[in-house]
Structure 1
Amino acid sequence: MNDTGATSRSFTNTVMSLLSRGGHSAHSERKAGRDLMDRISDFFARHDLEVTAANLLRAHAALSGIDLRLARKIVEREEQDQPVTQAWFDSIAEEEEGRTDDLADFERLNADLNESIESFSRTARTARSAATDYKIALNEHTRSMESPGTTSQLLASLTDLTKALLERTRQAESEMKRSEREAASLRKNLEKAQRAAEIDHLTGLPNRRAFEGLLERHYREARGELEPLCLAFCDIDHFKIVNDTHGHETGDRVIQMIAQALSRASNDNCHVARQGGDEFVLLFRNMTMREAHERLDWVRERLSDRSFVNRTTDEKIGAITFSGGLADVFAYENRRAALRAADEALYRAKGEGRNRIVQAEKER
């Protein structure tokens, strides 16, 4: 193996060690921070990457374990003795652009809705203020009527006051109706944007953002109900070869097909989402590791028995398989540790020959 291969092994060991690291003392945390900075510096020098804010953020996300998917892609690329070029780094970022645009639309609509609600509140405060003013004025006129004076003058003054209140009430009512219409329209658009921001448009599955919400909710509920909770990372075996040989359109259809296959395993207790690229993530509620393994393996076996053909060229693609890593969420300190464990198990499944499901080792 040449120097690049040796460096690849070193980088692989570094990342995998990082992903499996548990808690640290304050001293260890400081040392870990210095080690991380050293690895980032070495990473930039080794691949001759320009030190930009965007590149620093990506490198930090990968080497710190925040972005497990990117970390594994870098590991795989280096193990294949391929450099991490600027073009490759940028292509990874482009995969997230559509999701970012959806989130930007969602945040904009959310801000508009909040403004509409505030406008409605201002209108309500105005109407309440008008009613308070009328009450004060009416009390004053009531006291005036108890004193000697001309009844006709008092009645005329009261009539003028009532007319003024009616006009202000009509104005407030009109403004409130307008605010209600605006709020209803914005709320409808917000719900639509929220759904769009949480759906992967290629497969129709929930995306990574939606899965994070699912994991948070089911983690809390399952812990309260003392129910088991498992999660799995899966990705398509040799997907790059499919893309390079048959084109990206065929690659997209393969991703859709895998999504459909995994969706057959889903129900109220099993949720499937697209993590990004050719990777999927599943959450198994109220299922033991054995039950979750059996369900996921059932999908894998049914898929591996089939042979596929490129519909455009009629060329044989052959078998399409996937590998998976499965972890018991409550066997780890927190959700992030469980995600790391599932990711490591997936990496082991790839190393052991692919087309298999590997269970994560329990945290020591």
Structure 2
Amino acid sequence: MTTHATSSGEPVGRLLGWLGLRPGGSGIAADPGAPPDGNPSRVRQVRADLIEAIGRFLLDNDLDVSPANLVIAHGAFSGSNPRLARQVAARAVTHGGVTQQWIDEICGEEADPKGQADLDRLMAKLETNLEAFQTRSKAAHQMTRDYGSELEEHLTDLEQLQKTGQIVSNLADLAKAMLERTRKAEDEMRKSEDEAKSLRRNLARAKRDAEVDYLTGLPNRRAFEALFDRHYREGKETPFALSVAFCDIDNFKAINDIHGHDAGDRVLKVIADTLAQISNDNCHVARHGGEEFVMLFRGLTPREVAKKLDDARERLADRRLINRKTDQPFGVITFSGGVADVFGYPEPRAALKAADEALFRAKQAGRNRIEIA
């Protein structure tokens, strides 16, 4: 595990401060997932300990503060996912340690829809609160500015009347002090508005990142499923052909075993680029997980889709890739695919299953081929 001299102090404190909490205790409780005893201070302490443990975990291992990493860290440290906690603990003491690549690999295995749904609700609630804050802040900002302008007018009048006596002079001094405080309050409100805008931008970026596969740059499984549901609903209202396909790299484990994971990542990118070349507004490709990709074709029949994938498969097989670190050739890189007619099945998940089964038949038949369900 990679450690940092400063990671256990200030960064975690700043993280907790940003969340509106103070660092609590020396670490996570022995059983953070257990219900607190009902004491409000105890509830707050448990929450603070959980946040501190998550913060330390992300910082000590140089992990991004991304939605996926937060879900994994919460599952491991809250006690809600004991198996995941055991995986993290075992990995931490290995030579490789906890890395972003390893976290991304187990993300696909965990596929915690409830955790993702909780994160979605949290992000939506944060957006709503930010909108309400900005609305109230703008109104208060305007009121403060108007009050300051009016006060400044009265101040001018008072200064002109200073010759009438010390009382008026004192009132003028008091008004000056009030005006200065008003201006400071206005500056603070402006800063708060700027911080809220920055937070909204970061939130929007986090939501985009949650739907993109970091390695290939393609949409991930989560983004594809939302897209699939939308096209399916539109196709029910205005009929059109809709086909789905699964593509899987042949003998990918052997590539990783022989050439290493870095070389395997390069092959993944090559396959992603190959499939992305045939994508457009009516053809969408996403990384489904591991070495598997999923594609959605609007306006094309399964036979037309199979032809497109066959062409892409042949172009890939004609390429001769070389491991840049060792100059050792990879050999012929191929993929297999399975295609299904979405509206040929009673519901969309059945079509996905049919395409996956067609992919399995392609593998069984010798790989490097496309099968139609």
1:181, distance to aligned residue in structure 2 (A): 3.5
How many angstroms apart in 2 are the aligned matches of 1:122 and 1:110?
A: 19
Of 309-318 and 183-192, deviating more is 183-192
Q: Which residue of 2 aligns with 1:355?
A: 368
Residue type of the alignment partner of 1:94: I
Greater shift, 174-183 or 258-267, is seen at 174-183
Aligned to 2:208, the other structure's residue is in SS state: helix
* Distance change >3 Å, CA 55–CA 93, structure 1 → 2: farther
2:295 maps to what in 1? 282
Q: How does 1:296-307 map to 2 (within 5 A)?
A: 296-307=309-320
Contact (CA 8 Å) 1:323, 1:350: kept in 2 or not?
yes
Matched, 1:216 2:192: no
Aligned mates of 1:328, 1:308 — CA distance in 2 = 34
1:271-319 residue CA offsets vs partner (Å, 9 max, x unmatched):
1100111000001011112211111111011111222221211112110
Is the Cα contact below 8 Å between 1:106 and 1:190 reproduced in 2? no
Q: Which amino acid aligns with 2:130?
A: S
Does the 8 A contact of 1:324 with 1:357 survive in 2? yes
- Structure 1 residue 342: deviation in Å? 0.8
Could you tell me which amino acid in structure 2 is paired with residue 185 of structure 1? S
Partners of 2:246 and 2:355 within 8 A in 1: yes
Tell me how many residue pairs correspond in the alignment. Answer: 241
Deviation at residue 221 of structure 1 after TM alignment: 1.9
Paired letter, 1:357? I
Tell me by how many angstroms 1:223 deviates.
Answer: 2.5
- The answer on whether the counterparts of 1:326 and 1:358 sit within 8 Å (CA) in structure 2 is yes
Partner of 1:117: 131
Identity %: 52
Aligned mates of 1:173, 1:218 — CA distance in 2: 48
Deviations 1:59-89 (A, max 9, x none): xxxxxxxxxxxxxxxxxxxxxxxxxxxxxxx
Matched, 1:203 2:216: yes
Once the two structures are superposed, the pairs formed by residues 216-295 of structure 1 within 5 Å of their partners are 216-295=229-308
- CA separation of 1:197 and 1:53: change in aligned 2, threshold 3 A: closer
Tell me the C-alpha RMSD between the 2 structures.
3.8
Residue 96, structure 1, aligned to residue 119, structure 2? no
Check conservation: 1:346, 1:358, Cα contact below 8 A.
Answer: yes
Gaps of 5+ in 2: 1-79, 85-101, 145-178
Once the two structures are overlaid, the 10-residue window that deviates more, 332-341 or 169-178, is 169-178
Answer with 1 or 2: which has the greater Rg: 1
Question: Aligned to 1:341, what secondary structure does the other structure show?
Answer: helix
Q: What is the deviation of 1:194?
A: 1.3
CA shift, 1:118, in A, is 2.9
Residues 1:346 and 1:331: Cα distance change in structure 2 (over 3 Å): same
Partners of 2:241 and 2:257 lie apart in 1 by 41
TM-score (norm 2): 0.56
Aligned counterparts, 1:48-127, within 5 A? 94-96=106-108, 110-122=124-136
Separation of aligned partners in 1, 2:343 and 2:143? 55
- In 2, Cα distance between equivalents of 1:174 and 1:276: 48
Give SS of 2:330's match.
Answer: strand
Distance 2:251 2:341 in 1: 27
TM-score (norm: length of structure 1): 0.57
Distance of aligned partners of 1:107 and 1:231 in 2 relative to their CA distance in 1, 3 Å threshold: same
2:349 maps to 1:329: no
**Counterpart-to-counterpart distance in 1, 2:133 and 2:185:** 12
For residues 76-129 of structure 1, the C-alpha deviation after alignment (integer angstroms, 9 at most, x for no partner) is xxxxxxxxxxxxxx99962539998x9698776554333222324555898999
Is the CA contact (8 Å cut-off) linking 1:105 and 1:193 kept in structure 2?
A: no
Q: Is the 8 A contact 1:324 1:345 kept in 2?
A: yes
8 Å Cα contact 1:229-1:330 kept in structure 2: yes
